[in-house]
Amino acid sequence: MAAPSELQLVLHKEWRSLARDGRLRVLAVALVALLLAALASGWITAQRWQADVAAASAQDRAAWLAQGARNPHNAAHFGQVAFKPAGVLAFFDPGISATVGSGVLMEAHNQNPAMLRAAEHGGGRLGGLPAAWLLQLGLPLLVVVAGYAMWAGERESGTLRLQLVQGGRWWPLLVGKALALVAVTAAIGLPLALGMFWASGGGVRAALALLAYAVYALVWVGLTLAVSAWAAQARTALAMLLALWLASTLVLPRVMADVAERAHPSPSAQVFWADVRKAQREGIDGHNASDARAKTLLQATLQRYGVTDEAALPISFTGIAMQAGEEYGNQVFDRYYGALWDTYAAQDWVRLGASLLSPLPALQALSQAAAGTDWQHHRHFVDAAEAHRRALQRFLNDDFAANAKGSDFDYRADPALWSRAPAWHYDRPKLGAPASPVLPAASVLAMWLAVVTVMALVAARRLVREGGR
């Protein structure tokens, strides 16, 4: 049998030391137990969410079809409700799901924001304590506890000098220590990976999430080994790493959220809707009031049909006017909601910019994008709901204009009309759709891995060159 290589000896020695560390075993078992419990709880909650969405959608559709003979404009105000399905991996990373609402009332004259926020009804985070949040905080802490003394402890005890005297080289020492830490994180990640793939049915999104967390773990492996190699004592390395962990996982995200809001403040709901209503009444530019628009529309309609009086029109001008009002309102909504979405996007870029100081914001962006629980996915849902609302209003107003001549609001449409109206259906966007943060976040996370790898290499070579002193 061939003698074990230097790398195998280092890996065996480091793994044996880690296996004997009682503190590490307790932390690892506790983290695995919490992660599996969080995954199970999140999966149950996501399944309940999906069941509630299916039931509510069916009830809304049944109520729409059961309206009976009714004026189309009354039906337009009755509206339909779009319910958002849970993200593909919402059981793992609920993202912003609890704070942005899960239903949109699609009615005449209004582009309503999403309602039914879980946070407003005591729901809190989807599934309680999310597995993603536990992993984002617990994984680097586990790596720090496992690896802070790998270089500094040997340096302090003198065993590193002994290994070097016996011919030890820097790269097998570094690679062996790194592989031992990777093995520790893999012991945590394997149950998580199996649970995620089983619960989600696999797919690209689950693979992206696992890859992002794997890179995140490697970043902390490299950072831990670099700090341990630079520190003169193990306790110094531990203090430095814990300070970095605390700052990057707990302090920085909160600070950058405040910075993002200050840099790009979002309007209050009261201010936003006051501006919208003013633009609807007085015109977007303040020089096209609703009364003037109505008179201009009437003249244009009379000219189109070659008559001089509204009574001579072969259609209901009220239906024409209502659709024109919808179209003008759509311009107002596009302007003000567009500005609001731009503000949210700018805030997201500020938060993502913090990943230059910590790998966590980039990981969170990738994790939520993979899970389908970020701002981009929420905007896709509400944009789809608004597109459906506009199609529905046009359908109802067209029927009103075509059939309500002479009766207007006394007109009652045949109940069969409701089944011919557009029915709400939602298809999730593909991963990596326009405006997705996947590519920039992945690039920043890859940059972090490259930087800490170089740091660990430089620190290890310096330490070995100096004889482990």
The answer for residues whose C-beta is within 8 angstroms of residue 239's C-beta and 6 or more apart is: none
One digit per residue, the tens of pLDDT, for the chain of length 469 reads 455 688 888 888 888 888 888 888 899 889 988 988 898 898 898 899 999 999 999 999 999 999 999 999 999 999 999 999 988 899 999 998 888 888 999 999 999 998 877 655 444 444 468 999 999 999 999 999 999 999 998 888 888 888 877 777 888 888 999 999 999 898 888 878 887 777 777 788 888 999 999 999 999 999 999 999 999 899 999 999 999 999 999 999 899 989 999 999 999 989 999 999 998 888 766 556 677 888 888 899 999 999 988 888 999 999 999 999 999 999 999 999 999 999 998 998 898 888 889 999 999 999 999 999 999 999 999 999 999 999 999 999 999 999 999 888 999 999 999 999 999 999 888 877 666 788 899 999 999 999 999 999 999 998 888 765 6
Range of the domain at 56: 6-465
Q: Which amino acid is at 14?
A: E
The answer for residues whose C-beta is within 8 angstroms of residue 339's C-beta and 6 or more apart is: none
The answer as to whether 372 is a domain residue is: yes
d(CA 134, CA 142): 11
The answer as to whether 233 is a domain residue is: yes
437 Rama class: left (phi>0) / alpha (psi -120 to 50) / beta = alpha
Q: Could you give the residue ranges of the DSSP H alpha helices within 283-374?
A: 290-305, 317-353, 360-371
The answer as to whether 399 is a domain residue is: yes
The answer as to whether 1 is a domain residue is: no
Q: Is the model's pTM score more than 0.85?
A: yes
The answer as to whether 421 is a domain residue is: yes
d(CA 23, CA 203): 36
On whether the CB atoms of residues 344 and 375 are closer than 8 A, the answer is yes
The two structure tokens encoding residue 186: 């893999």
The answer as to whether 90 is a domain residue is: yes
On whether the CB atoms of residues 392 and 106 are closer than 8 A, the answer is yes
Q: Name the residue among 100, 86, 111 with its Cα closest to residue 385.
A: 111
The two structure tokens encoding residue 1: 């049998």
d(CA 355, CA 448): 9
Long-range contacts formed by 259-268: CB under 8 A, 24+ apart: 259/350, 260/346, 260/347, 260/348, 260/350, 260/351, 261/347, 263/346, 263/347, 263/350, 264/343, 264/346, 264/347, 264/350, 265/343, 266/340, 266/343, 266/344, 266/347, 267/340
d(CA 256, CA 399): 51
- The total number of structural domains in the chain stands at 1
Q: What is the DSSP string of 263-290?
A: HSPPPPHHHHHHHHHHHHHH-TTSS--H
